[in-house]
A = this chain, B = another copy of it.
């Protein structure tokens, strides 16, 4: 007694069924669903009609198993408190899907979990792994690569020193020098650098570049403070503790932040807890250009990463057979707004 009111679970319709219905062989049916296959328009039409009637769609697991191509990429991500992650995901998922790539999303809980996350992806036989998390330092990457079961490992929006990876990122060194120059030009003299987690080796680049460049060109040694995650809430706490009780003389005149997540947290606390005005009492710069940076509330001077270009480049890399590893740096744009 079939349950009429509920749509049936149609998982068991196979190419053989369609073949029988259309009066062709199974292989002709499969060819009808492959874009490069040689098939006459007549049988294509017959198959289309039969497939439509039966509600058939090819099984990508089986296709993947037989062809050794999954058309799946794993996206390993963490750091969900950072609003920029949402932007990156949107851009990547949109462009990858447009090019026919499906995405396996893996939330990498912490550094110890990174290996499991990679293993997870391996078992699905993904064609490539894209890392947009921050937990993947060189040590983790090495063990991951040891047991690599995917063709490409791509680090997105972060530079990597590891020779066996492909990295697609903005040119941090160039960017931070541009920021440093801008800050100095605008007359700021006592910058403080607000950095992310110390463990995040790749991002150290921004801090190091800024501090070294400032020291060499403008003499003084900038103060630096570190937050244990790219989380506005944590940044707010640290900034409050660091700056509370300072007076005009001891307060930095600008807070240069490693990214917008930190800058946003800092802005909130500086205005509402410390009661200071931005940029008059203290200016702020960020990095990433998240959507809210442009809004009326923050008007944050920041550095825009060309995410769309980077994502387009990523799909090009995925499509190419070239398996030589390399890095690719993009140039961003300084977005000057009211905060500095």
Is B90's CB under 8 angstroms from A123's CB? no
What class of interface size applies to chain A in its complex with B? 35 or more
* A267-B297 contact given A58-B123, A86-B86, A97-B107, CB 8 Å threshold: yes
Minimal Cβ-Cβ distance residue in B for A59 = B125
Please report the C-alpha to C-alpha distance between residue A81 and residue B91 in the assembled complex, in whole angstroms: 12
Is A27's beta carbon under 8 Å from chain B? no
Is A86's CB under 8 angstroms from B80's CB? yes
* A103-B106 contact given A125-B11, A268-B296, A295-B268, CB 8 Å threshold: yes
Minimal Cβ-Cβ distance residue in B for A240 = B296
What residues of B have a CB within 8 angstroms of the CB of A85 in the complex?
Answer: 86
What residues of B have a CB within 8 angstroms of the CB of A264 in the complex?
Answer: 292
0/1 string, A54-81, CB within 8 A of B gives 1: 0101111110110010100001000011
0/1 string, A96-134, CB within 8 A of B gives 1: 010000111111010000000001101111000000000
Is A273's beta carbon under 8 Å from chain B? yes
Is A269's beta carbon under 8 Å from chain B? yes
Interchain CB contact (< 8 A) of A123 among B9, B59, B109, B124: B59
What residues of B have a CB within 8 angstroms of the CB of A97 in the complex?
Answer: 106-107, 109, 120
Stretch in contact with the other chain, from A142-150, A178-186, A196-204, A280-288:
A142-150
Is A103's CB under 8 angstroms from B102's CB? no
What residues of B have a CB within 8 angstroms of the CB of A10 in the complex?
Answer: 147-149
Is A233's CB under 8 angstroms from B295's CB? yes
Is B7's CB under 8 angstroms from A146's CB? yes
0/1 string, A147-177, CB within 8 A of B gives 1: 1111100000000000110000000000000
Please report the C-alpha to C-alpha distance between residue A102 and residue B70 in the assembled complex, in whole angstroms: 15
Interchain CB contact (< 8 A) of A151 among B9, B83, B87, B102: B9
Is A94's beta carbon under 8 Å from chain B? yes
Is B65's CB under 8 angstroms from A65's CB? yes
Interchain CB contact (< 8 A) of A83 among B9, B83, B119: B83
Given A89-B107, A94-B109, 6 additional A-B pairs, CB 8 A: A11-B150, A57-B119, A59-B65, A61-B125, A83-B86, A93-B105
Would you mind naming 9 contact pairs between A and B with Cβ atoms under 8 Å apart? A9-B151, A10-B147, A11-B151, A55-B147, A80-B89, A86-B86, A94-B107, A236-B296, A272-B297
The 3 A-B pairs of least Cβ separation, nearest first, read A93-B107, A80-B90, A272-B296
